[in-house]
Amino acid sequence: AQRVTQPEKLLSVFKGAPVELKCNYSYSGSPELFWYVQYSRQRLQLLLRHISRESIKGFTADLNKGETSFHLKKPFAQEEDSAMYYCALKGEYGNKLVFGAGTILRVKS
């Protein structure tokens, strides 16, 4: 079964502190993993995907197949990073996504 687990409902950090949003998955094949972000009153949007190995807005995420993890990291949090973050796994057909429950990131000044 495909499953995505985000163990933290809420992560609160101070501005300038490092951030790590945890994501673990279970999948029997070769996974495609994503992080989506939803800022207040806005639609869900793609932040980054593991296959492109890019850094967006200072965020990075590395797929660790041994630990079945895809944690999202940023060395220095900014207030505008406050949002809901979802980790997602792509299933076997088209673009069907399996989402984690999400983590609210609050960056305090």
Q: Which residues bind other proteins (CB under 8 A)?
A: 4, 6, 36, 42-46, 86, 90-91, 93-102
Shortest reach from residue 63's CB to other proteins, in Å: 17
Helix (H), strand (E) counts: the chain: 0, 11
Question: Tell me, what DSSP letter sits at residue 58?
Answer: T
Nearer to other proteins, 24 or 78 (CB): 24
Q: Which of 44, 57, 32, 34 is nearest to 107 (CA)?
A: 57
Determine contact, residues 4/23, Cβ cutoff 8 Å. Answer: yes
Shortest reach from residue 68's CB to other proteins, in Å: 18
Shortest reach from residue 20's CB to other proteins, in Å: 19
Nearer to other proteins, 17 or 44 (CB): 44
